[in-house]
Structures are given as structure tokens and as C-alpha cells.
Structure 1
Amino acid sequence: MNNRHFLLSATAVLVLSACGGGGGGGGGSTPPPPPVSTHSPVTPANATRVASNAYAAASAIGDSSTSLNGFLTGVSVGRANISVVSPVLKLVKQAYARDGQPLLTGVTLTEACTGGGTITIDATVRSQDTISNGDAVKITANNCVEDGDTLNGVLGTTFSNITGDMLNSWTWTATMDARFTQFSIRSGSETVSVNGDMKIAMIQTNATTSSVTVSGSSLQTTEQRSGMNLASRNLSDYSMTGSTRGSTVTSTASFTMSGNTSALGQFSYSVRNLQPFVTNGTGMPSAGALIVEGASSSVTLTVASATGVRLDLSAKGDGVITQTTNLAWAEFLMSI
């Protein structure tokens, strides 16, 4: 079939109310102590690592719009971090856009991936010709190589809110609920392992215009480089919105990040974009800002150019900058 195309912190508010007691003797009530932050501190010594980890976590969901752009235009956008959404789109596209045996309910199919390895597909579908509301597809990847990425593990998806023909049209909408089980993506020397849930809501307007919203309650990722564990992160109550307009891609994210690295130890921070990340064509973002908030402290990552970033530490988290660091993208990304 020709022209087959497919896409694929929550800050907890603690309300403290003190009931004024009418005690004898005219004494006023004692005000409650301020709430104790459960976040980790951001310090001059760890600010770069904290910001780098936050950016890596945001990339797992925030590069979704960049991945979308690659599917629409055929442009391969080089990023230093692995997007979780991109392989989801690749696998589902491969499962549905078949020129051989169509997907059939109750029939298990195994087929070769373009670069080696296989995927096994178990599906419950309403139609052999298009993606329909209520379709459910389970894809098991076994050393499946697509576009240079090696995929392993299980991806389960269900579809809803579909309008238009997703396989044969540039105008459609869809929501995909995905669940990752021991799913891993290897690109070059880096590997990200993923478990958890993700909702992907997409609006396709034309061949180069689209938008995507990604959200979920919990996504656990483990990052390795050259076989060595770098970081384990959990994104809680996360969300990302992104858009593609021609070759311009924007994304903004918000989430709570906790986990462990050998350099930071155990950590917990809140992360949100102050300004959307903007990518034009290929390479790293050319604009955008992200703040990481810790215990009475914060660090703000601002894209200074397509080649570098600026990190501003606020030791008291009050917006007063106490330390500024300028780094090239490559040095920043290797600072986990």
C-alpha cells in the first residue's frame, strides 16, 4: 500500500490549615512549622549533573515531537539522548503497514526487521485495512534493528479517539495507550531500558504539521553507556506537549524525577520547561529553558545557542543567581 504513514510535577500541593483555638488566657495559636521538602538540594558541586539528568529525562518524552517530524519529513534528527516515543512509532508502523499477511485477531505473526532480528505481533483488530478504535496490539521485539536502533522487550498498545485514515492520509487524530515491559532501546553506545505507561495523543494536520501530547503516571528508565549503568530514573505524573511545523519542532515538559546515579546518589527533583525547546532541522535545540527545583534551591538550563547551554544556580531557590556555568552541549550531556 502506497503512502502508508503512522505516527506514533506533578507538583504535590500540601494544604496546611491551622485551626485557631480559643484557649483560655487569651493566648494565640502557635503557627505550624513550614513544610519539609522531600526534594534533594541543588548545590554548586552537583548543579551541572542535576541539570544534565533532568535534560536526559525530559528527552525521553520531549523528543517525541522530533521523532514525529522524522516520520513526516524523512529527516533524521540527530539527538544525544534516546527518545522513548520514536521506537513506539516505528514498531506500530511496521506492525500495521504490512504488504504481506494482514493483521488478524487471534493470529500470531513473526516477521524480520529491516536491520536484523524479529518482531512478534499479537493483535485484536476490527479491520484488516486500517487502524480502528479499540484495536489492541502486543509487539515483542527480539534484537529488532530499525533505523540503527536495536529494540528488545514488550510493547502493548491500544487505540482510541481515532478520526480519519491513519495509514493512507495526512489528516487524522489518534490516542495510543502504551505499556512498556522490560523494553530496551540501544542506539550506538547508549541503551535505555523502559518500564511503565505512556499515553500518546496525536493530531496530524498535513504532511509537515502535527502536534502530540505525551503523559503518564510512572515511567522507569535505566540508562547505560558502553555497558555501564549511568542512571536510573522514575518520571512521575509526567506530561509533554510538542508540535511540528515544517522543519521546526517545539516541546515542553513537566514531571517529578527521582532515582539514583553513581555521582548524585539518591535524588528527587521537580522539572519543568520555562520556555519550549525549539529545534530547527537537525542538531540540538537552538532555544528553550528548563528549571530543576530542589530543596530550597534550583538550577535553570537555558539554551545559549545550538552549540552550548548556560546553567544558573539559585542556592536559595529564590531566583537570585549565585553561580553561572557555560558549557558546550557535548560536555553538558556527558556530565550525568
Structure 2
Amino acid sequence: MSVSPMRGVFAGLVSAGLLAACGGGGGGSTPASNASAAPVGAITATNATETVAYAYSGVSDLGTQSQAGASLATGVSVDTPTESVLTASLAQLYKGVAVQPANNLATGVTASSSGACAGGGSISVTVTEAVQGVVSNGDSMSISASNCSENGAVINGQLAFTFSNLSGSIGSSAAWGATLSIKYTNFTLKSGGATIANNGDMTLSYNQSKYQVATAVISGSSLQMDLTKSDASFVSRKLTAYAMTASVNGSNNTSSANFTLTGSSPKVGNVSFVVKTNTPFAAVGTANPSVGSMTVTAGNKSSATLTAIDSTNVKIDIDTNGDGVIDQTLNTTWADLRSRT
């Protein structure tokens, strides 16, 4: 998934062109991409822009998976799925709850059913419930999608939920809360010309008081997200030991995430970084974040800190030797970052 502004947490990519950037604090023009100019994992003035673009996309990918229901659809770029993975996941959950077997189901046994998707395709649902037709603490639900077309996205693969700390009735507009243990197995989402494949785990503590008013606390040990773009180029990201907090209140959205990021892309090569949010990113509606800051640190302690100046402009502070002193500052735009993923 490419760098995206926030709706929910991150949303609505618009097409982006390269913009010249003026340097500040010893800066200059933003250097052109050259992923091979420095050793793998070393952050320099040459690769800092691509580095923060790649890392912020990891924040964005996690953010778009850490929000709830129809409140948080994302993206209109040809290379960004138009619906977030977690949005799709919860939409599948709501559909699974609706089509789960309820009649003649003995308490505590496992049973299966299936249902059609709005735009074609289907899902099959397998549940183990203490009370027939009612999702309760300790229950589990496995959903397998087969070319399930919903909200402009085509979904395949499997996701499995285990429920705890339930309150309210699960629904896209209902007041409800739960802790969901989610496992993704070849769970793919194709939309906007791109396909993102997900494998791994997530624990989501989610509370929704009404439509578009929700909070989420996310954590997990490992989540692999592989993006195939419309031109067949491939971007791989693996988040480990990840944690995130996020909220949506009407059009106001915030997020903060920390994780280890490994993977590769044509722009950055093979990398391993630690990503830490310094100040939560915040945005209104489909705009880019207007505040927020994160630091990407490489194995040799070199780092780049991305800071939102406003919903158009950002700056990147570079520490090339890990001594805590800013060696160079690059001034650029969100649009430029999007063009570099």
C-alpha cells in the first residue's frame, strides 16, 4: 500500500507528481531515488525520502487495518486498495454474523453456512458458539471468501476471529465493543488496481459508540503485507512486535504506531528499520495529516524523522551517524512522498 492520507486513520490517495523541495537547516533539493547508493539499512540524505515514504506506508498499512467498519474506507489511487484490509475484515465479520447458522444448531457445536456477496462471489462461515446464533465470549468464527465483491473490493482467503470482552451487538452502525483475536491466512484484497495479501496475527481492542465514533488499540507479533501494484511491481512489508492506537470521531482521526519493519521494494531495496511515532498523526476528513511525527531508525543508528508541517508539507530531519544531531533537513510534500513508494 502506498503512502496515503487519513480518513479514519489514513485515506483517499490522490494522484501525485514529483515536486521540487527546498532544503532547510542545511538542506537543499530532495535527492533523487538511489536505493543502492548506501549500504542496506543506512539512512543518508540520498535515500531518506524513500525511506520515510516506505516506513510511513507501513504505518498507513497498519492504520488502515486498525479501524472499524464502514467508517474508514481508504484510497483512490490506482496503486492503493480503495478499501482498508481491516475495513474489509470487519465488513466480512458483519456479513458472517448475519449469515451464521442459527436454526437447529446444538449449543457448543461447530456448524457452517454460506452467503452471497453484494457484487458477486460468496463467503462460507464456520462458527463454534456457546449459544446458538449469538456471538459470545470464547466463541470463534472462521470466514473464507471466494471472489467476494463488496464496496469495490474483491476479497479472497480466510480470516478467523476469537471473541472476548464483548459488549453490545456487533454491527457497522451499532454501539459495541470487543477484543478480537484475528488471524489472516492468504487474505487478499484487490481494489484500485492493486492487490494486498495479508498473513499473520492481530489483536484488536475495539469500541464503537456509534457510526464513525470509535477507538482501537492494536497489537500483534507479526503481520506480513505484500502489495502487488498495477504495473506488477512488488512491495513487501513485515511488521513485528507492532502496536498502535487509533481513533475516529466524525471527520477527525488520529493514530500512533510503533513497530519493527523489514521488507523490500524497488525504491529502497532490502531493509530493516525500527519505526516509532513521536507525536500522533492527526487529520480531518480525506486530507493528509496536518500534525504528527515519526522516526525511522536503521541498524547503524542513522535515522530520519518525518514531521507534518501541514496537510500539504512535511520535513525530514536526517541524523546520519546516530549522535542525536540533525545533519540535514529536507523540506518536501506529502505528494512527493506518495510518488516515492
Tell me which of 307, 311, 314 is aligned to 1:306: 311
2:256 and 2:281 in contact (8 A); partners too: yes
1:253 equivalenced with 2:254 (yes/no): no
1:91 equivalenced with 2:96 (yes/no): no
Counting only pairs closer than 5 Å after superposition, residues 112-261 of structure 1 correspond to structure 2 as: 112-167=116-171, 170-261=174-265
Query: Which residue matches 2:53?
Result: 52
- The offset of 1:173, in angstroms, is 2.2
- The offset of 1:102, in angstroms, is 4.1
Post-superposition Cα deviations, 1:68-103, rounded to whole Å, max 9, x if no partner, equal 2x635xx755476554322111110111134x9648
Separation of aligned partners in 2, 1:284 and 1:43: 25
AA aligned opposite 2:140? A
1:111 and 1:119 in contact (8 A); partners too: yes
1:244 and 1:250 in contact (8 A); partners too: yes
Tell me which of 314, 321, 326 is aligned to 2:326: 321
- The offset of 1:167, in angstroms, is 4.1
- Contiguous gaps of at least 5 residues in structure 2: 1-39
The share of aligned pairs that are identical, in percent, is 37
Query: Which residue matches 1:24?
Result: none
AA aligned opposite 1:87? A
Q: Provide the TM-score with structure 2 as the length reference.
A: 0.78
Greater shift after overlay, 101-110 or 270-279? 101-110
Greater shift after overlay, 180-189 or 319-328? 319-328
- The offset of 1:227, in angstroms, is 4.8
Counting only pairs closer than 5 Å after superposition, residues 249-288 of structure 1 correspond to structure 2 as: 249-288=253-292
2:212 and 2:249 in contact (8 A); partners too: yes
- Structure possessing the higher radius of gyration over alpha carbons: 1
AA aligned opposite 1:90? A
Separation of aligned partners in 2, 1:59 and 1:239: 13
- The offset of 1:311, in angstroms, is 1.9
1:71 equivalenced with 2:75 (yes/no): no
Aligned CA distance change for structure 1 residues 328 and 115 (closer, same or farther; 3 Å): farther
Aligned length: 294
- The offset of 1:246, in angstroms, is 2.5
Separation of aligned partners in 2, 1:164 and 1:114: 26
Q: Which structure ranks higher in relative contact order (CA pairs < 8 Å, sequence separation ≥ 6)?
A: 2
1:270 and 1:292 in contact (8 A); partners too: yes
Q: Aligned-pair RMSD on alpha carbons?
A: 2.5
- The offset of 1:64, in angstroms, is 4.2
Aligned CA distance change for structure 1 residues 182 and 206 (closer, same or farther; 3 Å): closer
1:107 equivalenced with 2:111 (yes/no): yes
